[in-house]
Amino acid sequence: MHRRDEEQLITGLIKALGTSLKNRGLYPSTHPLVRTPVEKVYRDLLPFFADHSELVLVISDGTLIFEGVPIFSLTSSLESFMDRLTRIGMPAVILEKGITPADIDSFVRFLHETKEQDLPAARIQEILIQRGIAHIRVKPIEDTEENDQAIANEIYENAVSVVVSVLRDVRLGRIPSGAESERVVKDMSSMLTRNRDAMLALTLIKNFDEYTYNHSVNVAVLSLALADALSLSSGDKVDVGMAGLLHDVGKTQLALDLIRKPSTLTVEEFEEIKKHPEEGFVLLGKMSHIRPAAAYMVREHHMRFDRLGYPHPEPDYRLHPNSNLIPVADCYDALTTMRSYQRARYPRQALEILEKIAGKSLDPEVVTVFANIMGTYPVGTMVRLNTMEIGVVSGQGIASQGGQKVVLLFDRDGNPLPRPEQVDLGESAGSANASRRSILGTVNPQFFPAATAGTLLTAMAPATA
Ligand SMILES: [Fe+2]
Ligand SMILES: [Fe+2]
């Protein structure tokens, strides 16, 4: 495409977006005057994405800049549109290859509905993700990884507070609403699609803090990642995520000292614990925003693959087809969590244990998919490199090429680095560079008290706007 054609394309895009935005204020969102321009934008972009991966439009002083050159062919009728972008505080609009009419439609709706002004770019990005807009960004790529981590942290923290409030309601004898849970599950699900590493890293890192509510959120994240890898429909994914988040809600009825009991349970105590799936099932049945599938997954999360678990299923009882996901996530998270009575297993050891019990308590196919998602060194794992430096795995490259990304925290003598530094282990792959870094093995984060969950997260998300 020639520059002139590209400029024409961009002018056309902005015009169509502006028309859709203007008409959205006047007509319902399904009206052709709103829909048609959105479809036009989508169609016009297709030839551009035949040989580009993204279209970057920088906004500066109310002007649109494409590849460093301002576009002046914008007519004054589009000033109000540019004005809207500027007012919200958008530094840029970046359209990515793979963009869908739904992305464009949601983006126009975002522009129409947002009344706030001068939002930080990270906040705008977060809203776009929450609205499920997968292929439109406002920040250049080099910043997005760090931003993604910051947004993932926030989504994680929100999910924890939702769990806290649901459990509080249950303890007070109220039936909690499922609306908030549904919202955070959708947020976690779109964040996983956008940047799986950022979301998955939190499930391990948060386990450095011994914090019971994290388990619920971790199981939701891990089972959503499984649902994603198994290409479940978005409705089914929400059911799995909801069930993951609320799988142990039935334990709320139990005495706290029983849940945290460090020693082996007596027969009577175990009988008490065994009631939690059924109690969770009953509770979910009364909550709003929860579909029966999620309630069944909660009831069935300890029935085991060989059906020798509890509550003991009748011989002709048919489990929900997605009930085999949560047990894998549940088991992995329990193994990698530090408890007062149990040291946390390394992710690698936990995966080996899962493989041992596959076919007995866990569905072997799901365990295989899970092991593939996590890779040799799951994100969030603390590792020692051949250079004797210590860091945390922050991104999963292609495992066979040793392509992980690692945030370095300690130098070869064990001194904390003044500034954590991200390195790409795959970067010099193939070259004859003798100093290429590679992972030697896992380190126990407890030996590095300076590396608390908080510092690790700051290291992985240094530039929060
Ligand atoms: Fe459970
Ligand atoms: Fe659990």
Supply the pLDDT for residue 464: 36
Ligand nearest to the CA of 334: 2
Among the bound ligands, name the one nearest to the CA of residue 331: 2
**pLDDT for position 130:** 86
Distance 200 CA to ligand 2 centre (A): 17
pLDDT given for residue 77 in this prediction: 58
Check residue 463 and give its pLDDT: 40
What's the CA gap between 336 and 108, in Å, rounded? 43
Asked whether residue 159 carries a pLDDT value surpassing 80, the answer given is: yes
**For ion ligand 1, residues whose CB falls within 5 Å:** 248
Q: What is 326-365 written as a DSSP string?
A: HHHHHHHHHHHS-BTTBPPPPHHHHHHHHHHHBTTTB-HH
Give the residue-averaged pLDDT of 101-113: 91
Say how many Å lie between the CA of residue 183 and the centre of ligand 1.
Answer: 23
Question: Which pLDDT score is estimated for 270?
Answer: 85
Residue 446 CB neighbour total at 10 angstroms: 12
Ligand in nearest proximity to the CA of 244: 2
CA max distance for the chain? 78
CATH (residue range 143-374): 1.10.3210.10
Ranges for all domains in the chain classified under CATH 1.10.3210.10: 143-374
Q: Which ligand is nearest to the CA of 251?
A: 1
Cα 101 to ligand 2 centroid, rounded to whole Å: 39
Least-confidence region, from 154-168, 198-212, 355-369, 372-386? 198-212
Tokens read off for 306? 């060989």
Give 382 Cα–ligand 2 centroid separation in angstroms.
Answer: 24
Q: What is the mean pLDDT of residues 390-414?
A: 80
Residue of 81, 35, 86, 36 lying closest to 58 (CA atoms): 86
What is the 251 CA–ligand 2 centroid distance (Å)? 9
Lowest mean pLDDT among 26-35, 255-264, 322-331: 255-264
- Is residue 189 within 8 Å of residue 433, measured between CB atoms? no
CA of 228 to the centre of ligand 1 (A): 22
Centre of ligand 1 to C-alpha 446, Å, is 27
Query: What residues contact residue 353 under an 8 Å CB cut-off, 6+ apart?
Result: 331, 335, 345
Q: What residues have a C-beta under 5 A from ligand 2, the ion?
A: 248, 330
Query: Cα 266 from chain centroid?
Result: 38
What ligand has the least distance to the C-alpha of 219? 2
Q: How far is the CA of 334 from the centre of ligand 2 (A)?
A: 7
pLDDT tens-digit readout, 236-269: 999 999 999 999 999 887 766 666 666 777 888 8
- Using the mean position of ligand 1's atoms as its centre, give its distance from the Cα of residue 302 in Å: 6
How far apart are the CA of 435 and the centre of ligand 1, in A? 47
Comparing 361 with 22, which gets the higher pLDDT? 361
CB 315 within 8 A of CB 282: no
How far does residue 276's CA lie from ligand 1's centre (Å)? 7
Q: How far is the CA of 317 from the centre of ligand 1 (A)?
A: 19
Ligand 1 centroid to residue 391 C-alpha, Å: 33
pLDDT at 208: 66
**Which of these, 427, 425, 382, 419, lies nearest to 201 by C-alpha position?**
382
C-alpha distances in Å from residue 354, one per residue of 82, 101, 299, 336, 382: 54, 41, 21, 12, 20
pLDDT digit string, tens, across residues 415-448: 888 888 888 887 754 555 545 888 998 888 777 7
Q: Report how far residue 258's alpha carbon sits from residue 189's, in angstroms, rounded to the nearest whole number.
A: 32
- Phi (first) and psi of residue 14, to 5 degrees: -65, -40
pTM of structure: 0.69
Nearest to 376 by CA among 362, 353, 396: 396
Lowest mean pLDDT among 137-141, 150-154, 194-198: 137-141
Q: Which ligand is nearest to the CA of 279?
A: 1
Question: Helix count (H) and strand count (E) of the chain?
Answer: 18, 10
- 224 contact partners, CB below 8 Å, separation of at least 6: 185, 188, 189, 192, 237, 240, 241, 244
Centre a 10 Å sphere on the Cβ of residue 255 and count the other Cβ atoms it contains.
11
Q: How far, in Å, is the centroid of ligand 1 from the Cα of 244?
A: 10
Q: How far is the CA of 355 from the centre of ligand 2 (A)?
A: 19
